[in-house]
Structure 1
Amino acid sequence: MNFSLTQLSGFMDLLNFLLENLSDKHVTLGENLKELGRAMAGIGETESERSGDLNFFSIEQAKAVIDYLTDSFFRHYKLYEYLFHSPREKLVISNKYAIELAQPAVPPFPALLEEGIPSDIYSSFIISPTAAEAESKGSDQEGYLEEPCPEAESSEADAMAGVTAEDQKSAVGEIPNGIIGNLEADINEKLQRQEEACTFRTEN
């Protein structure tokens, strides 16, 4: 059956009205059937007080609309009620990715090769200092530390100018004697304390 654009627009308005009654107003099946009857009232009557906004339908078209709504909407009314009013669990679907970052380059290990960069450019501009360069820098620093400082040598020479060989021998000989004497005094003192403690315990 062919419908004009006005008739199709009216049918969609009627269907939307019935769905809103169910979803928003919780209208029962019987009440929604009554609303459909009121909307279809007056169709086919030329001058009637009951004619509504759907009077552009013919009687055959109105029957086709009612049959379609009965088969597709009213017959599955319980299913639509469940669809609109039953609580449903909201499922959140997401993906979690664990991304492992590369550790920073620590000599002598070079940095990771960047993808798509030629090896010659990488070795010239991006690669970290190699082990050979690190060793060369270390040897340069050691050589710098081993080089004698003229100012230090002159100060040491001035300090040793007034000291004779006999003075050095006597100073070296006095060091062990002083250390040994201090050790003997400490040991004797500790032994005396232990002896006094033992004597006190035996007397009591």
Structure 2
Amino acid sequence: MNFNLTQLSGFMALLNFLLENLSTKHMTVEDNVKELGRTMAGIGEPHSGKSGDLDFFSVDQAKAVISYLKISLLQHYKLYEYLFHSPREELVIGDEEIDQEYYPEEPQPEEESLKVDPLTGFTTEDVKSVLGQITNEIIGSLQTEINEKLQMQEDAYTERIDKLTKT
């Protein structure tokens, strides 16, 4: 979009604001979308007083920012929630325990005391495969949830339209 420095700074501040809402305030995607709407309100309306200090964006730029946030942050919101709020297990890979069982008192030379790379023995394809499986599981459940919510909204709107056309 060829943003100038002010617009780029504003975009980064907006992204930081939404991520802070998620990480520290534990906001749901719906609440965060409402906050985004409040922040973006008034763009393109001269002297509206509604603008959330982002009036340096044009309407087209604001639409592009919202579109980008939709396909990046909001579409993968469950993944970000998992990242910020799920406890992590420490995965220990190596033979350090075995060495301690056989040689508990023996000091190890400096070279052997270096940490073992936890990815030793795995190929790039192994890592890609595991990450692909995890991503597909998370995104698959998120996609299902989004589709269900969209279907519910579609049904509600269809019902409203039916009521309006009957009157």
Q: Distance in 2 between matches of 1:82 and 1:53?
A: 31
TM-score, normalised to structure 1, is 0.46
1:99-121 superposed Cα distances (whole Å, 9 cap, x missing partner): 789xxxxxxxxxxxxxxxxxxxx
Q: Distance in 1 between matches of 2:39 and 2:88?
A: 33
Q: Distance in 2 between matches of 1:85 and 1:100?
A: 40
Q: Distance in 1 between matches of 2:53 and 2:62?
A: 13
Pair 1:28-2:21 in alignment:
no
Residue 19 (structure 1) aligns with: 19
Q: 1:111-150 alignment to 2 at 5 Å?
A: none
Residue 78 (structure 1) aligns with: 78
Residue 91 (structure 1) aligns with: 91
- Give the drift of 1:73: 0.7
Q: 1:41-60 alignment to 2 at 5 Å?
A: 41-60=41-60
How many residue pairs end up in the alignment?
101
TM-score, normalised to structure 2, is 0.55
Distance 1:100 1:70, change over 3 A: closer
Larger RCO: Structure 1 or Structure 2 (Cα < 8 Å, ≥ 6 residues apart)? 2
Q: Distance in 2 between matches of 1:7 and 1:15?
A: 12
Q: CA RMSD in A?
A: 2.1
Q: Distance in 2 between matches of 1:68 and 1:37?
A: 14
1:28-48 superposed Cα distances (whole Å, 9 cap, x missing partner): 011000000011011111111
Letter paired with 2:23: S
Q: Distance in 2 between matches of 1:82 and 1:30?
A: 16
- Give the drift of 1:63: 0.2
User: 1:3 is paired with a residue of what secondary structure?
Assistant: coil
Letter paired with 1:40: M
Q: 1:102-113 alignment to 2 at 5 Å?
A: none
Letter paired with 1:3: F
Identity of aligned residues (%): 69
Distance 1:6 1:95, change over 3 A: farther
Residue 67 (structure 1) aligns with: 67
* Structure 2 alignment gaps of length 5 or more: 109-167
User: 2:76 is paired with a residue of what secondary structure?
Assistant: helix
- Give the drift of 1:78: 1.0
Residue 3 (structure 2) aligns with: 3
- Give the drift of 1:93: 5.6
